[in-house]
């Protein structure tokens, strides 16, 4: 198997595994919410604040912690982050009230933004010819971790109680920290300014880097479409097919196709024109939403559409990151922060728009929304993209 310059395959796959295990912390609570509501004797509406706090914590970590990767050594960040992560997971497991569980969940989310350090790190430690491959492999691990987390949590929660999941996660994170402390190469960034200047530079990069703005716009629109799909799929399954949330959840397993494809697309982005990959990915997204539009009563159509929408979105995401990491080599964590913040803002927008589209026009409205977002992504790239990338 080929080697990365300064990044062995063993370390690369360790980073991929680490990204998946840490990202899983964000989603363990979702299958446990009903058990938690029964345990504390609260409503499902109240217990949903656990998931909300986790996501808000993740957004905070993404914005305020990840830029430190350009200022502080990765080993120091890992040490502080994992100590807080372990304390947060233990606090969640022992939480005597819903309020304290919500607070612990916020810090679990904040400290679990760590995988967004691994992606720029992989890009930095690999040579330019294999950068896409490295990004793709780390992203595959992250996506598989997200997909597997809900199944693991649901099983452990049902068999051993919801608190056990947090204790198991604590043990896994402790073991992972020890391994990373020993095996992960130390990276000392070149930035020597203050944290305030570091944060101000996020605005500078957004204002001055047109490729970064365009990549973030493409990423935000594509993720908006993906969020729109997953927000309304359960409604489609219940109204048109009579299936509950259990069957709807199994569609997430199909996402493994996109996760596995991430490493393949990463390799292709090292050999193919990024411009071609962006265009092809956008066309795949357009095709997926066209299929969705005519599949409101076809499970086969929905399955094909899921594969295509996930494949297109992940392919575009990796191409975007490969483009932004090829520039500003000493500021990859900050440019990734700008990109990912806009990426998740797009996801939030997609969720809101999808709810409105479903309310007024059902699945046809959602499909047309996704089609509009995908076409806009392609047109924006054709109009403003660099054809030489």
What pLDDT sits at residue 255? 67
What pLDDT sits at residue 249? 58
Q: Which of 345, 281, 287 lies closest to 314, judged by CA?
A: 281
User: How would you class 190 by CB atoms within 10 Å of its CB: exposed for 0-12, middle for 13-18, buried for 19 or more?
Assistant: exposed
What pLDDT sits at residue 17? 93
What pLDDT sits at residue 292? 97
What pLDDT sits at residue 4? 42
Residues 6+ apart with CB under 8 A from 298: none
| Domains of the chain and CATH, by start | 9-189 (1.20.1250.20), 201-384 (1.20.1250.20)
Give the pLDDT means over successive 10-residue stretches in the chain (389 positions). Answer: 60 92 89 86 82 86 90 92 97 96 95 90 81 83 80 84 95 96 88 89 92 95 88 81 67 69 69 87 96 94 90 89 83 90 86 87 95 96 82
What pLDDT sits at residue 122? 86
CB 301 within 8 A of CB 294: yes
What pLDDT sits at residue 350? 87
């Amino acid at each position: 198997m080929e080697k990365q310059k300064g990044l062995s395959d063993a370390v690369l796959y360790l980073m991929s595994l680490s990204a998946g295990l840490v990202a899983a912390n964000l989603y363990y609570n979702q299958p446990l919410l009903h058990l938690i509501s029964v345990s504390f004797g609260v409503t499902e509406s109240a217990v949903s604040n656990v998931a909300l706090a986790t996501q808000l914590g993740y957004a905070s970590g993404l914005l305020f912690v990840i830029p430190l990767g350009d200022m502080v050594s990765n080993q120091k960040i890992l040490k502080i982050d994992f100590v807080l992560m372990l304390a947060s997971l233990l606090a969640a497991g022992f939480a005597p009230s819903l309020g304290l569980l919500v607070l612990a969940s916020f810090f679990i989310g904040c400290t679990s933004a760590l995988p967004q350090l691994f992606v720029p790190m992989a890009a930095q430690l690999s040579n330019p010819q294999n950068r896409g491959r490295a990004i793709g492999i780390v992203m595959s691990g992250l996506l598989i971790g997200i997909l597997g987390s809900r199944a693991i949590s649901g099983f452990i929660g049902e068999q051993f109680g919801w608190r056990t999941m947090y204790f198991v996660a604590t043990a896994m994170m402790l073991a992972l920290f020890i391994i990373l402390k020993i095996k992960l190469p130390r990276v000392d960034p070149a930035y020597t300014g203050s944290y305030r200047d570091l944060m101000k530079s996020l605005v500078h990069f957004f204002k001055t880097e047109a490729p970064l703005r365009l990549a973030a716009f493409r990423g935000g629109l594509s993720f908006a479409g993906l969020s729109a799909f997953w927000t309304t799929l359960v409604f489609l399954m219940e109204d048109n097919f009579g299936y509950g949330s259990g069957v709807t959840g199994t569609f997430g397993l199909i996402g493994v196709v996109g996760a596995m494809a991430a490493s393949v697309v990463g390799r292709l982005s090292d050999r193919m024109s990024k411009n071609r990959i962006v265009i092809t990915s956008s066309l795949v997204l357009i095709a997926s939403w066209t299929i969705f539009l005519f599949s409101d009563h076809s499970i086969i159509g929905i399955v094909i559409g899921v594969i295509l929408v996930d494949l297109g979105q992940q392919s575009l995401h990796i191409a975007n990151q490969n483009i932004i990491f090829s520039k500003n080599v000493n500021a990859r964590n900050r440019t990734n922060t700008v990109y990912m913040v806009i990426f998740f803002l797009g996801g939030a927008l997609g969720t809101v728009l999808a709810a409105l589209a479903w309310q007024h026009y059902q699945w046809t409205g959602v499909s047309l929304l996704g089609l509009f977002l995908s076409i806009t992504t392609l047109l924006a790239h054709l109009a403003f993209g660099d054809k030489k990338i």
